[in-house]
């Protein structure tokens, strides 16, 4: 592509209103906030549906929906008030604010625990200037990324917009465990918004201030980390990892991750495999993904072990899922500050359960899927742009098109559309423009198939089924469509097999 792939995607996203800046009619609105249009919302919901099915329901986990605003005490107990910081530096000339680590780049080993004095030393040594005006930079300071709120009319109650979705899960752990009568190990899932006051939001929906997350926290007995019930199912699955200190990714079987003590136990190897299988199922090629082992200096303050699930894009490696072994850090901290007993009794032992976290960014997942799916072709002098999305995450399984809007075709096509909706199949109806233009419109937003109701359909009860990527067409029975589209959308069959 003549343009950078990220630029082509941005043009498409804005033109089709997949995602776009929030409050954009006001030129001076905040950066780092984005809205999703009709198609973007549909894709986002398909991602969430796939996540619920594959990683929540199949694993027997439960899902909750917690408040986005929490009391200050919660974040004192969690450590966020003291530790959820980024290094901030301000230009002395134009007063622009920048992240110090971003200015210095990746060639320096700068981690979460790097002292501010080290940033100042490197900025001086490398003669780093303000990117905006080339002015001198001031001293680095730690900037807390949480967004505070005054609750109530008195202004005496301090709260925060949650910076991650997991804290609700820890706060509600004991209640959910008792209500659902769950034994360890078990997982609690949650989707929703979290908020981070990013110093320099950038790259559209990749680094933003209002974030969509899908999160799972698995609670387990630390003495039974190697007693994972379904481990046999995935023990030979090859996980693609970049080990600490290595420069090249390698494929290691799940069982070897355990036997070679690369991970702390079978439970972690099991969920690394599950995350990789899930994202491969969404259409990410194995050679484009990896779990990068996070070293002790870079790990989050609550993590004993960390694996960042990353995908390679035109903008470099993008982290989609933070996989962290949080030990008993969270339950112990909340128990201490709240005085609530969050321990579990099991086999005459009383202990704080340990936690393994899989925290995925929905916005980043959506962006990466779109970029990897973006295709531009030229055939017979005509350019074609389309999104080669997996049917699992396409905004709709199929578009329903009457060839023309007369002679009863419109009514019959609309009847077919309504019938497929009754089967809970995600379809889209369009009767405007030439059939070629309608094909092009749905190709651009990644709809997997097009169903054309024509004059032959009135005679023999068949329709034309067109596949997006190949543009091949086949005649299929109208009566077969509900089952056929379900199989195509779930990967039970392929277009070639019809």
Return the closest-CA partner of residue 291 out of 236, 251, 327, 351: 251
Residues 74 and 158 in one domain: yes
Torsion angle, alpha carbons of 476, 477, 478, 480, to 10: -100
Return the closest-CA partner of residue 237 out of 291, 282, 308: 291
Spell 64-91 as b/e; 16+ CB within 10 A means b. eebebebebebbebbebbeebbbbbbbb
Asked whether residue 377 is assigned to any structural domain, the reply reads: no
Residues 354 and 329 in one domain: yes
Residues 124 and 196 in one domain: no
Residues 139 and 170 in one domain: no
H-state helical runs in 189-340: 231-234, 254-259, 266-281, 329-338
Alpha-carbon separation of residue 342 from 21, 57, 140, 178, 356 (angstroms): 42, 25, 39, 11, 16
The 10 Å Cβ neighbour count of residue 196 is: 21
CATH assignment at residue 132: 3.30.40.230
User: Range of 120's domain?
Assistant: 85-143
Residues 177 and 251 in one domain: yes
- Total domains in the fold of the chain: 3
Q: In the chain, what is the greatest distance between 2 CA atoms, to the nearest angstrom?
A: 80
pLDDT of res. 1 = 45
Residues 205 and 288 in one domain: yes
pLDDT per residue as tens digits for the range 112-122: 668 888 888 88
Distance, in Å, from the CA atom of 276 to the CA atom of 290, rounded to the nearest integer, reads 8
pLDDT of res. 3 = 72
3-state secondary structure of 479: helix
Asked whether residue 196 is assigned to any structural domain, the reply reads: yes
pLDDT of res. 196 = 93
Residue after which a domain boundary falls, among 143, 160, 187: 143
Asked whether residue 387 is assigned to any structural domain, the reply reads: no
Residues 317 and 183 in one domain: yes
Q: What stretches in the chain show pLDDT beneath 50? A: 1
Residues 177 and 130 in one domain: no
Sign of CA dihedral 101, 102, 108, 110: positive
Asked whether residue 257 is assigned to any structural domain, the reply reads: yes
DSSP 91: B
The residue whose two tokens read 């089952």 is: 483
Residues 75 and 118 in one domain: no
pLDDT per residue as tens digits for the range 27-72: 888 889 999 999 999 999 999 999 999 999 999 999 999 999 999 9
pTM as predicted:
0.92
Residues 301 and 434 in one domain: no
Asked whether residue 96 is assigned to any structural domain, the reply reads: yes
CA distance between the termini of the chain: 33
CATH assignment at residue 263: 3.30.930.10
Asked whether residue 384 is assigned to any structural domain, the reply reads: no
∠ at Cα 309 (307, 313), nearest 5°? Answer: 145
Round the CA-based radius of gyration of the chain to a whole number and report it. 25
The 10 Å Cβ neighbour count of residue 15 is: 10
Asked whether residue 388 is assigned to any structural domain, the reply reads: no
């Amino acid at each position: 592509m003549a343009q950078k792939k990220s630029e082509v995607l941005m043009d498409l996203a804005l033109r089709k209103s997949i995602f776009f800046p929030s409050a954009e009619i006001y030129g001076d609105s905040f950066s780092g906030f984005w809205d999703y249009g009709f198609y973007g919302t549909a894709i986002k919901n398909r991602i969430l549906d796939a996540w619920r099915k594959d990683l929540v329901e199949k694993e027997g986990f439960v899902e909750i929906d917690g408040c986005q605003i929490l009391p200050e005490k919660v974040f004192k107990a969690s450590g966020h008030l003291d530790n959820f910081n980024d290094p901030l530096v301000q230009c002395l000339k134009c007063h622009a604010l920048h992240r110090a680590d971003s200015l210095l780049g990746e060639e320096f080993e700068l981690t979460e625990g790097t002292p501010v004095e080290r940033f100042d030393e490197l900025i001086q040594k490398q003669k780093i200037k303000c990117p905006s005006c080339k002015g001198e930079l001031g001293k680095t300071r730690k900037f807390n990324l949480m967004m505070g709120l005054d609750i109530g009319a008195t202004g005496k109650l301090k709260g925060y917009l949650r910076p991650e979705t997991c804290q609700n899960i820890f706060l509600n752990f004991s209640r959910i465990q008792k209500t659902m009568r769950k034994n360890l190990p078990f997982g609690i899932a949650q989707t929703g918004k979290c908020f981070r006051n990013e110093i320099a939001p950038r790259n559209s929906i990749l680094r933003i201030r209002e974030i969509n997350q899908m999160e799972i926290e698995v609670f387990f007995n630390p003495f039974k980390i190697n007693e994972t019930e379904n481990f046999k199912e995935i023990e030979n699955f090859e996980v693609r990892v970049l080990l600490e200190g290595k420069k090249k990714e390698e494929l290691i079987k799940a069982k070897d991750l355990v036997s070679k003590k690369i991970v702390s136990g079978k439970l972690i190897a099991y969920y690394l495999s599950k995350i990789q299988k899930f994202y491969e199922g969404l259409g990410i090629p194995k050679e484009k993904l990896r779990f990068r082992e996070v070293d002790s200096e870079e790990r989050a303050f609550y993590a004993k072990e960390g694996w960042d699930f990353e995908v390679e894009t035109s903008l470099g490696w993008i982290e989609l899922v933070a996989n962290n072994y949080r030990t008993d850090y969270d339950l112990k901290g909340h128990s201490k500050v709240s005085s609530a007993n969050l321990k579990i009794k099991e086999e005459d032992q009383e202990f704080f359960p340990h936690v393994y976290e899989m925290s995925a960014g929905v916005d980043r997942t959506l962006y990466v899927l779109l970029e990897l799916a973006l295709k531009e072709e030229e055939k017979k002098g005509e350019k074609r742009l389309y999104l080669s999305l997996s049917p699992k995450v396409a905004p709709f399984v199929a578009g329903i098109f009457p060839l023309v809007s007369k002679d009863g075709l419109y009514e019959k096509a609309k009847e077919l559309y309504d019938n497929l909706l009754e089967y809970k199949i995600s379809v889209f109806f369009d009767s405007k423009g030439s059939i070629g233009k309608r094909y092009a419109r749905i190709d651009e937003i990644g709809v997997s198939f097009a169903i054309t109701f024509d004059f032959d359909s009135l005679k023999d009860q068949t329709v034309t089924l067109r596949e997006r990527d190949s543009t091949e067409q086949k005649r299929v029975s109208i009566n077969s469509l509900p089952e056929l589209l379900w199989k195509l959308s779930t990967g039970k069959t392929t277009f070639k097999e019809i």
